Structure 1
Amino acid sequence: MSELQYKNLDICHAEGLLNIWANADVIKYTNMKLPCTLKDVENRIEIFKPLDVFAVIQKGELIGIIGCPPINKEKLQYGLFYQFCKSAWGQGNATIATKWLIDYMKQKYKNATLFADVVVDNIASEKILQKFGFEKFSEELIERDGIKLKVHNYKL
């Protein structure tokens, strides 16, 4: 496994993110209802650009996105998320990137509380959160395409 780099999200990452956000297997674990078009990706990048959201680069290729957009800035509450292209799954990349992001957020926002939610079927993501001390505090049902999904809510 080669080293990961983290770059501020920018429009130059649109094609790489399309590989993630247009993949039905990847987005089934996200809050996205439909695969994205290139225009959708560009619009999402514009929203994420000013936030603590980063492209994850390996060997010059975008393999993922990771970030902590604010939930409530005054209370220093941020929502941690990550998404990786399917070819990068199962290689420890999400674990490495999550450690980097938690360290980054603790340094930038001393007393920040991080939240994350995980579709219950996404066992790998639950293991990553638990590894870093996230604790499950609730669960809820969300609906996507008429299907109810159980989601666990975590806090660090």
Structure 2
Amino acid sequence: MVIGGGSVVNFFSSMKNHIHPKALPNVHRIQYASPGVMELSAIIEVTGDIKELVVSICASLTSISTTYYVIHKQYISRQMAQKKMAQLDNEEDKNFVRDSVIELHEKLNLSPRQVMSLTKISKGDQLVELKMLMAMYRRAKPIADLQMENKARL
């Protein structure tokens, strides 16, 4: 599976197919009146992982945002969107990917279990893993922004 562009969205959508329907998050309550509220119920381990990711982003928002921006800019300039690790032309690009993956693991405060899961899902392709990490950040950042504005509570 090549992950890039629209396929990153497809990655998250297709993950739903690998989750038992009883394990998917459920809308527990919606309140439309201001202030609006939506309560979700989900498996504690999953929500814990999401909460840890959001808290990590909130704790060092500027640092993580800067790191993401620098990595993403290089990722685009090196034209890596439609490639896998084996297709990279030079050692400099390979080192960039490896270093970026490690840096995002650290900045997002991922546990060894989470890192192993990402490696397994990406089938050991660090460029695919980098794409997944960047996608995780892009999806967690708006939640972190809402959390910082006290519009979300995890």
TM-score by length of structure 2 reads: 0.26
- Tell which has more relative contact order, 1 or 2 (C-alpha 8 A, sep 6+): 2
TM-score by length of structure 1 reads: 0.26
Q: Which one has the largest radius of gyration?
A: 2
More strand per residue: 1
